[in-house]
Amino acid sequence: MYENVKIQFDKAANVMGLDETVKKILSSTNNEIIVNFPVKMDNGTVEVFTGYRVQHNNVLGPYKGGLRYHPTVDIDAARALATWMTWKTSLAGLPYGGGKGGIQLDPKKYSQGELERITRRFTYALGDNIGPEHDIPAPDVNTNAQMMAWIADTYMSTKSPAERSKNQHVVTGKPVGSGGLEGRDRATGFGVVVTLESWAKLRNTSLEGKRYIVQGFGNVGYWAAHFMNKNGAILVGVQDATGTIYNPEGIDPEALLRFQADNGTISGFKNTQDYTSSEFFGIDCDVIIPAALGNQITEANADSVKAKVIAEGANGPTDTEGEAILLAKGVEIIPDILCNSGGVIGSYFEWLQNRNGEIWTMDDVIIKLRKKMEDAFNRVVITAGQYKTDWRTAAYIQALVRIEMAYKQRGIFP
């Protein structure tokens, strides 16, 4: 993924003529933190875990980005994801920079109690490398609101009693009862669909009757399907780590969510057939929503894509070789730093809510989120026209212009 990030960055920098000094600064990360920490397991043994936090750039504000628990987490993945967060927060017009991290583990192998101890010990190991005005984590792959509550509680417990309440916004994506934001759970998936609605409007069509497939049926995939169905679109295929299912007549995402919760898999869902996993992206459909991991659409499968548009709910789901094939075929790609930015925008709203001692309603969140997503989409389309380039490069240019301006206005210390 990190190679993809560098290639995409270089392309945008060259197209826009990015200042060479700024390019040099943005080509490397500010800080890379690796922590090894012991945790006692349920059986009394001790395991040592490796955790990562990469802070890419903070010229626009505190580092912001998720923590993921996955076997693929390593320093390169964290670098790539942190860099993408810098572009994403800049494009969305937020006062943040980019950070990312996580722990290299498979959470399915650990009990709830073990995951709590791992999460709290990781937080303690990070210490003041995170903070509400310095670096603000959030949920990502295999992490959730409960884990964010554990992080907040652990971090706040390290502060003096008089200071604890001032640190509630050290993380976002918390449960609503613990300072979380109404609607934060659906913000990323909702944002994906807002960009697809904007795409449909741009192309003088609608999502009504459009056939779509979703890779990944976690938080982002489910909520994207939920809001797509509200637009009258038809879900015909779903793929996740447990299997691939297909029904050309349509799949009910609400019923599938209940089935998944009860059975721990999507395979075997009523009225669907198992589908060859390697042929998933070749399913006949109008829209693809990759909402799982990176590097899923590649040179090996891009030519089989029949969809008109790909909405990148995941970070980096399309590699550079795959993207070249798709663009040559006329497939439009709503890039990740635009398409899935609803999550970090929702996190910004939660951060503001905690900081100001306010309580935002669901209506407040949805209205403000839609406006920010639509504004960002429209700016990317305008920039693509100005530079005669693709939407991903245009999104990067939009992000880089804002960062370049900050460096030029502030100068380089000393």
SS3 340: coil
What gap in Å lies between CA 188 and CA 27, rounded to an integer?
A: 27
Is 157 annotated in a binding site? The answer is no
> Both 190 and 332 in a single domain?
yes
The one-digit pLDDT tens for each residue of the chain (414 residues) are 899 899 999 999 999 999 999 999 999 999 999 999 999 999 999 999 999 999 999 999 999 999 999 999 999 999 999 999 999 999 999 999 999 999 999 999 999 999 999 999 999 999 999 999 999 999 998 999 999 999 999 999 999 999 999 999 999 999 999 999 999 999 999 999 999 999 999 999 999 999 999 999 999 999 999 999 999 999 999 999 999 999 999 999 999 999 999 999 999 999 999 999 999 999 999 999 999 999 999 999 999 999 999 999 999 999 999 999 999 999 999 999 999 999 999 999 999 999 999 999 999 999 999 999 999 999 999 999 999 999 999 999 999 999 999 999 999 888
Residue 111 assigned to a binding site:
no
Does residue 266 lie in a domain region?
Answer: yes
Q: What is the CATH number of the domain that holds 278?
A: 3.40.50.720
- Expressed in angstroms, the distance from the first to the final Cα of the chain is 34
Number of domains in the chain: 2
Q: 127 and 209: one domain?
A: no
Question: DSSP string of 16-35?
Answer: HT--HHHHHHHTS-SEEEEE
> What is the pTM (predicted TM-score) of this model?
0.94
Q: Is 6 annotated as a binding residue?
A: no
Q: Looking at the structure, do residues 218 and 304 belong to the same domain, yes or no?
A: yes
Is 219 known to sit in a ligand binding site?
yes
Strands 287-290 and 309-311: parallel
Alpha helices, DSSP H, located in 170-252: 187-202, 219-230
Helix, strand or coil, per DSSP, at residue 7: helix
CATH code of the domain covering residue 50: 3.40.50.10860
Do residues 275 and 147 share a domain?
Answer: no
User: Cα separation of 123 and 154, whole Å?
Assistant: 7
Domain, as residue range, for 164: 28-168
Catalytic site positions: 100
**382 domain-assigned:** no
Boundary (domain end) residue, out of 305, 321, 338: 338
